[in-house]
């Protein structure tokens, strides 16, 4: 009888560990994939929305950066409040979780708790022996929002 009680206590402790490890706050992650965004010269504007790749592309003097447009709470594709005009009032929203994000991916309202991730990109010849002007974004290659792909 004592052995059975010890086993039950041991199983209970394992269940508690599993529950505590499985319920940590962490963002949902996009599956592993590579997106071909084409020629880097097409990115002439400071902000370009690419809904087919679920990415925002930002261009500045240091180069290009690539931000996800999928909710970090449930991976729902986010919608833009005004896809033709980008600025401080631009908001991404999830129709499922009602989470809202600013233009640079910061969480404006939840249940999402994590900002939208930025991803690493490379020129095609670096990974696929492709054309020197083509860009590929690698998921889940998350990087800091300050990371840039240098323009050629």
User: Per-residue pLDDT tens for 85-117?
Assistant: 787 788 899 888 889 999 899 999 889 999 999
Helix (H, G, I), strand (E, B) or coil at 134: strand
Q: 127 or 74: whose pLDDT is higher?
A: 74
15-48: pLDDT as tens digits: 554 554 444 466 667 666 788 888 888 999 999 9
CATH number assigned to the domain covering 28-143: 2.102.10
126 or 77, which is more confident?
Answer: 77
Question: What pLDDT is recorded for position 130?
Answer: 62
Distances (CA, A) of 19 to 7, 65, 74: 18, 37, 20
Average pLDDT of the chain? 81
pLDDT for position 22: 47
C-alpha span between 65 and 58 (Å, rounded): 5
Mean pLDDT of the region 60-78: 91
148 pLDDT higher than 90: yes
Q: Check pLDDT > 90 for residue 66.
A: yes
């Amino acid at each position: 009888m004592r052995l059975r009680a010890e086993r039950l206590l041991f199983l209970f402790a394992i269940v508690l560990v599993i529950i505590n490890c499985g319920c940590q706050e962490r963002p949902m992650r996009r599956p592993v994939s590579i997106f071909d965004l084409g020629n880097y010269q097409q990115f002439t504007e400071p902000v370009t929305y690419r809904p087919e790749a679920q990415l925002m592309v930002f261009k500045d003097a240091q180069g290009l950066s690539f931000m996800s447009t999928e909710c970090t709470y449930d991976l729902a594709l986010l919608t833009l409040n005004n896809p033709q005009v980008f600025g401080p009032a631009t908001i991404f929203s999830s129709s499922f979780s009602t989470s809202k994000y600013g233009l640079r991916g910061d969480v404006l309202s939840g249940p999402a708790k994590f900002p939208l991730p930025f991803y690493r990109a490379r020129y095609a010849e670096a990974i696929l022996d492709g054309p020197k002007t083509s860009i590929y974004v690698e998921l889940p290659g998350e990087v800091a929002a300050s990371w840039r792909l240098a323009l050629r």
